[in-house]
Homo-oligomer: A and B are copies of this chain.
Amino acid sequence: MDNGTIKAAIVGATGYGGAELIRLLQAHPQVEVSCVLSSSNSGTPLSASFPHLTDIIELELTAIEPAVIKEKADVVFLATPAGVSSELTPKLLEQGLKVIDLSGDLRLKDGAVYEKWYKRAPASPDILEKAVYGLSDVYGDSVAGQSVISNPGCFPTATLLGLIPAVKEGWIDPATLIIDAKTGVSGAGRGVGLGTHYSEVNESVKAYKVNAHQHIPEIEQVLSETAGSEVVVTFTTHLIPMTRGILSTMYASVNGSKSTQDFIDLYRSFYKDRPFVRIRENGILPATKEVSGSNYCDIGFSADERTGRVTVVSAIDNMVKGAAGQAIQNLNLAMGWDEATGLNFIPMYP
């Protein structure tokens, strides 16, 4: 660390999450990407995997060696599949490295719950305890100074930012929560399969992992803590024919009588110091294109007297706010920098 600049290693650099970290970090004045790592292709230039990085990033992929990483980096971003960071994080911490984990390995405090939903062995309890859940726009304060940050899932980010204020204030009944999420295909990563084959996905929409998505316990863990009692939600994900973006449509019964404007006012107050949450005006609802390429989460409301329910709609770019952008926001918070440092991307429209 020199002059307020730190060096970052990216593990899982051949995936979309890794590529997005590289895109965003290039604009960061205090971070330099010093090494890129992958379990495959070591020794080849990163630009062979990602031609869009030609002439921009000259780094070669290297194998994942904690001691070697230590020589080159101060902080490590783990953009890896489930099961990797539960193994790797303790070794990185031993080396004195800061870890920001974008996988789901460190999000669930209860290892048994992880095992149930992820169908694999959980990280060790001490690592799970040490990891702070980096939902930046809500728990930003608790991230400061931490050395292991668990970056939230893409769906939980969109959903929790849309629900926490209302749940916290007791404005909605958590027992009635139904969440219907729609995602672009990039969330499925770069690994090929029939489910992400162009001709199968284009001109189609379908639900998947219904009542079985591993982001359900993550959402429930946070909402339960927020509500002060156990919350169980119905949560459905849908794959839609676009590359980026998540729209989460959330439904709940309203306690007492609250108007759309009441919700707007509550959320504007709750997020008033957070640079990346935008509350839409009455009558306006967000669209994923309006946040594409940026770290914003846009939220809109419709409270309905007929049904006594509120519909909350939130939109994020799953690759930015739902992954790499929030990870960098967490790094900023952990380092004590302004949380928006290097993240002021205007949405790319159209």
Contacts and interface: CB of A to CB of B under 8 A. Distances in A.
Interface of A: 16, 19, 22-23, 26-27, 50-56, 176, 178, 180, 182, 184-186, 188, 190, 192-194, 196-208, 210-211, 232-234, 236, 238, 240-245, 247, 249, 251, 278, 280, 284-293, 298, 302, 304, 306-307, 309, 311, 313, 315, 344, 346-350
Most buried by B among A182, A190, A245: A182
A96 to B, nearest CB: 30
Most buried by B among A53, A251, A349: A349
A239 B22 CA distance: 27
A27 B294 CA distance: 13
Given A192-B196, A202-B241, 7 more contacts: A50-B349, A184-B203, A204-B289, A204-B290, A205-B242, A205-B247, A207-B249
Contact of A206 (B194, B202, B287): B287
A344 B293 contact: no
A204 B293 CA distance: 12
B199 A347 contact: no
A234 to B, nearest CB: 5
11 contacts: A16-B199, A55-B278, A56-B346, A180-B251, A185-B198, A188-B199, A204-B289, A204-B290, A207-B249, A234-B311, A244-B350
Contacts of A27: 27, 344
Given A234-B251, A234-B309, A291-B52, A240 B240 contact: yes
A333 to B, nearest CB: 20
